[in-house]
Amino acid sequence: MTDRRAFFQDTIGRLLQKAVQRAEQRVAPKRWFRPPGAAPEVAFVAACTRCGDCIDVCPVHAILKTPANGGGFAAGTPYIDPAIRACIACADMPCAAACETGALTVPEDVNGRGIWADVRMGVLELDPLRCITFQGAACGVCARACPIGEAALALDERGQPVLKPEGCVGCGVCVTACVTSPSSLKLRLA
């Protein structure tokens, strides 16, 4: 009986996951980097009133409005383009605190790990062929710029970047700080 129940739960779970993915593709044909504390995309787009409060309180003006052209139902919602201006991982997350609809929420500090512990706005990737430390030059700008610190991005004994996905919040500060052009680091959507 348990195997049968597990089979149905697994099957229904996969069907629901596919339904959510299809709904996301219809609601927002293009994916965007959302501010920290964002609800899943469909819920985010549904809850966001496009008021701009999160945009107004961002201390570095990293939050932009999704353009009407190509934004689909997501037009006018807040997003971050880490290639232009990165989120600086503010200690108190004012953008999420300013949201009154629940589209953005300040995560709870679970077990004293901090509100950023489970935030993943994007996934960081490193191109070692582009990074100058892999060609013998000293650098380390990315690691020094990281607002999360060694929990997200460290340097090994050779001075080369070591990405730590379990600690990286995907803010993009290291991407914009990188001295290579284009950056040796890039973010992809989580």
Residues 154 and 164 sit within 8 Å (Cβ to Cβ): yes
Query: Rounded to a whole number, what is the largest CA-CA distance in the chain?
Result: 62
Domain check: are 24 and 112 in the same one? yes
74 C-beta neighbours (distance < 10 Å), count = 25
Q: What is the mean pLDDT of residues 53-69?
A: 95
Q: For residue 77, what are the domain limits?
A: 1-118
Domain check: are 68 and 91 in the same one? yes
Reported residue count of the chain is 190
Domain check: are 53 and 93 in the same one? yes
- Quickly state the pLDDT bin for 27 (edges 50, 70, 90): low
Q: What is the pLDDT of residue 105?
A: 97
Please report the sign of the dihedral spanned by the C-alpha atoms of residue 162, residue 64, residue 182, residue 176: negative
Of the residues 86, 118, 150, the one at which a domain ends: 118
Number of domains composing the chain: 2
Domain check: are 58 and 151 in the same one? no
Of the residues 118, 143, 176, the one at which a domain ends: 118
- Quickly state the pLDDT bin for 85 (edges 50, 70, 90): very high
Residues 6+ positions from 42 with CB-CB distance below 8 Å:
20, 23, 24, 27, 28
Of the residues 118, 134, 149, the one at which a domain ends: 118
Domain check: are 131 and 110 in the same one? no
Q: What is the pLDDT of residue 10?
A: 83
Judged on CB neighbours under 10 Å (0-12, 13-18, 19+), 94 is middle
Q: What is the pLDDT of residue 30?
A: 65
Domain check: are 96 and 130 in the same one? no
- Quickly state the pLDDT bin for 26 (edges 50, 70, 90): low
How many Å apart are CA 33 and CA 42, to the nearest integer? 14
- The phi and psi torsions of 175 (rounded to 5 degrees) equal -65, -45
